[in-house]
Structure 1
Amino acid sequence: MPSTHLPLRKDVPNELKWDLSLLYSDDQAMQADLAEITKLTAQLGDLKGHLGDSAQTLTQVLQASRDLDVKLEKAYVYAFLRRDSDTTDARANNLFGQAAQTLVQVQTQTAFIDPELLALPEGTLANWLTTSPALQEFAVEIKRMRLQRDHVLKTSEEALLNRLNRTLDSAEEIYNTLNDADLKFGQIKDEHGQWVELTHGNRSQYTESMDRSVRQAAVKAYAKPYHDLRNTFAQTFNSFVSSQNAQAEIRHYQSARQASLSPHQIDEQVYDTLVTTVNDHLDLAHRWYAIKQRALGISDFSQADLNVPLAGNDVMKTTFSQGKELTLAALAVLGDDYVKGLQTEFNQRWIDVAENKGKRSGGYQVSVYDGNPFILLNWTDKLYSTFVLANESGHAMHSWFSQHHQPAQYADAPIFLAEVASTFNENILTEYLLAKYQDDPQIQLYVLEESINGYIGSIFRQTQFAEFEHQAYQAEQAGQTLTADYLDQLSTELLHRYYGPQVSLLAGGASQSWAYVPHFYMNYYVYQYATSWAASSSLAQQVWTGQTGALDRYLGFLKSGSSKDPIETMQAAGIDMTGRAYLDQALKMFAERLDQIEDLLKHQK
Structure 2
Amino acid sequence: MEKQLKRSEVPKALKWDLTLLYESDEAMEQALAKTQQKASELAKTAGHFASDGQTFLRNLNENKTIGEELEREFVYGMLRRDSDTTDSTAVTLYGQVVNAATMIEAELAFIQPELTAIDDSDFTKLMQSEPGLAEYQYEMTKLRRQKKHVLSKAEETLLGYLNKSLDSAEEIYNTLNDADLKFGKVHDEQGQLVELTHGNRSQFNESQNRSVRKEAVLAYEKPYHELRNTFAQTLNSFISTENALAMIRHYPSARAAALGANNIPESVYDTLVATVNQHLDLVYRWYELKKRVLGLDKMYKYDVNVPLAGEDMLKTTFEQGKQLTWDALQVMGPEYLKGLKSEFEHRWIDAAENLGKRSGGYQVGVYTANPFILLNWTDKLYSTFVLAHESGHAMHSWFAQRAQPSEYADAPIFLAEVASTFNENILTDYLLEKYQDDPKKLIFILEQYITGFIGTIYRQTQFAEFEDAAYKAEQKGQTLTADYLDQLSGDLVNKYYGPAVEETGTRTQSWAYVPHFYMNYYVYQYATSWAVSTALSEAVWQHEPGALERYLDLLRAGGSDDPVTLLKHAGVDVTDSQYLERAFALFEKRLDQIEKLL
TM-score range, shorter chain: over 0.9
Match of 1:432 in 2: 430
The answer to whether the 8 A contact 1:301-1:503 is kept is yes
The answer to whether the 8 A contact 2:39-2:108 is kept is yes
Q: Deviations over 1:83-102 (max 9, x none)?
A: 00000000000000000001
- Between stretches 70-79 and 491-500, larger displacement belongs to 491-500
* Deviation of the 1:126 alpha carbon: 1.1
Q: Deviations over 1:297-356 (max 9, x none)?
A: 111101000100111343100110110001011111010111111110010000000000
- Between stretches 120-129 and 383-392, larger displacement belongs to 120-129
d(CA) in 1 for partners of 2:72, 2:279: 44
The answer to whether the 8 A contact 1:12-1:356 is kept is yes
Match of 2:70 in 1: 72
Letter in 2 for 1:499: Y
Secondary structure of residue in 2 paired with 1:321: helix
d(CA) in 1 for partners of 2:190, 2:530: 38
Is residue 416 from structure 1 mapped to residue 396 from structure 2 by the alignment? no
Match of 2:80 in 1: 82
d(CA) in 1 for partners of 2:434, 2:268: 37
Match of 1:544 in 2: 541
The answer to whether the 8 A contact 1:215-1:304 is kept is yes
The answer to whether the 8 A contact 1:491-1:512 is kept is no
Match of 2:112 in 1: 114
Moved over 3 A (4+): none
The answer to whether the 8 A contact 1:240-1:521 is kept is yes
- Between stretches 460-469 and 435-444, larger displacement belongs to 435-444
d(CA) in 2 for partners of 1:131, 1:55: 6
Q: Deviations over 1:174-195 (max 9, x none)?
A: 0000000000000111111100
Is residue 327 from structure 1 mapped to residue 363 from structure 2 by the alignment? no
Match of 2:164 in 1: 166
d(CA) in 1 for partners of 2:410, 2:99: 23
d(CA) in 1 for partners of 2:311, 2:466: 31
Letter in 1 for 2:490: T
The answer to whether the 8 A contact 1:286-1:502 is kept is yes
Secondary structure of residue in 1 paired with 2:326: helix
Match of 2:511 in 1: 514
- Indicate which of 563, 566, 583 corresponds to 2:563: 566
- Indicate which of 33, 36, 39 corresponds to 1:35: 33
Q: How does 1:440-589 map to 2 (within 5 A)?
A: 440-507=438-505, 509-589=506-586
The answer to whether the 8 A contact 1:534-1:583 is kept is yes
Match of 2:264 in 1: 266
d(CA) in 2 for partners of 1:238, 1:53: 44
d(CA) in 2 for partners of 1:335, 1:164: 47
Q: Deviations over 1:451-502 (max 9, x none)?
A: 1111100000000000000000000000000000000000111011111100
Letter in 2 for 1:101: N
The answer to whether the 8 A contact 2:482-2:508 is kept is no
The answer to whether the 8 A contact 2:198-2:359 is kept is yes
Q: Deviations over 1:158-177 (max 9, x none)?
A: 00001001101100000000
Secondary structure of residue in 2 paired with 1:138: helix
Letter in 2 for 1:330: A
Runs of at least 5 residues in structure 1 that lack an aligned partner in the other structure:
none
- Indicate which of 142, 162, 167 corresponds to 1:144: 142
The answer to whether the 8 A contact 1:34-1:75 is kept is yes
Match of 1:189 in 2: 187
Letter in 2 for 1:574: G
Match of 1:26 in 2: 24
* Deviation of the 1:61 alpha carbon: 1.7
The answer to whether the 8 A contact 1:52-1:120 is kept is no
What RMSD in Å do the two structures reach over aligned CA positions?
Answer: 0.8
* TM-score normalised by the chain length of structure 2: 0.99
Q: Deviations over 1:215-245 (max 9, x none)?
A: 0001000000000000000001000001111
Secondary structure of residue in 2 paired with 1:253: coil
Is residue 596 from structure 1 mapped to residue 585 from structure 2 by the alignment? no
* TM-score normalised by the chain length of structure 1: 0.98
Letter in 1 for 2:569: A
* Deviation of the 1:211 alpha carbon: 0.3
Secondary structure of residue in 1 paired with 2:299: coil
* Deviation of the 1:130 alpha carbon: 2.4
Letter in 2 for 1:542: A
The answer to whether the 8 A contact 1:108-1:162 is kept is yes
Match of 2:238 in 1: 240
* Deviation of the 1:116 alpha carbon: 0.7
Letter in 2 for 1:73: E
Match of 2:127 in 1: 129
d(CA) in 2 for partners of 1:209, 1:510: 22
d(CA) in 2 for partners of 1:404, 1:52: 29
Match of 1:297 in 2: 295
Q: Deviations over 1:246-275 (max 9, x none)?
A: 111111111111111101111111000000
Match of 1:230 in 2: 228
* Deviation of the 1:63 alpha carbon: 1.0
d(CA) in 2 for partners of 1:4, 1:318: 19
Secondary structure of residue in 1 paired with 2:353: coil
* Deviation of the 1:128 alpha carbon: 2.5
The answer to whether the 8 A contact 1:185-1:225 is kept is yes
d(CA) in 2 for partners of 1:500, 1:117: 52
The answer to whether the 8 A contact 1:209-1:308 is kept is yes
Letter in 1 for 2:161: R
The answer to whether the 8 A contact 1:351-1:374 is kept is yes
Q: How does 1:252-401 map to 2 (within 5 A)?
A: 252-401=250-399
Secondary structure of residue in 1 paired with 2:427: helix
d(CA) in 2 for partners of 1:96, 1:244: 23
* Deviation of the 1:511 alpha carbon: 4.2
Q: Deviations over 1:490-535 (max 9, x none)?
A: 011101111110000113x244310010000000000000000000
Between the aligned residues of both structures, percent identity stands at 59
d(CA) in 2 for partners of 1:239, 1:49: 36
Letter in 2 for 1:461: R
The answer to whether the 8 A contact 2:206-2:306 is kept is yes
d(CA) in 2 for partners of 1:130, 1:416: 31
d(CA) in 2 for partners of 1:411, 1:511: 38
- Between stretches 159-168 and 130-139, larger displacement belongs to 130-139
d(CA) in 1 for partners of 2:56, 2:247: 30
Match of 1:180 in 2: 178
Secondary structure of residue in 1 paired with 2:501: coil
d(CA) in 1 for partners of 2:565, 2:150: 25
- Between stretches 386-395 and 305-314, larger displacement belongs to 305-314
The answer to whether the 8 A contact 2:554-2:567 is kept is yes
Match of 1:60 in 2: 58
The answer to whether the 8 A contact 2:206-2:305 is kept is yes
- Between stretches 57-66 and 410-419, larger displacement belongs to 57-66
Secondary structure of residue in 2 paired with 1:164: helix
Secondary structure of residue in 2 paired with 1:209: coil
Letter in 2 for 1:523: N
* Deviation of the 1:549 alpha carbon: 0.9
Letter in 2 for 1:307: N
- Between stretches 305-314 and 273-282, larger displacement belongs to 305-314
d(CA) in 1 for partners of 2:211, 2:154: 60
d(CA) in 2 for partners of 1:155, 1:476: 29
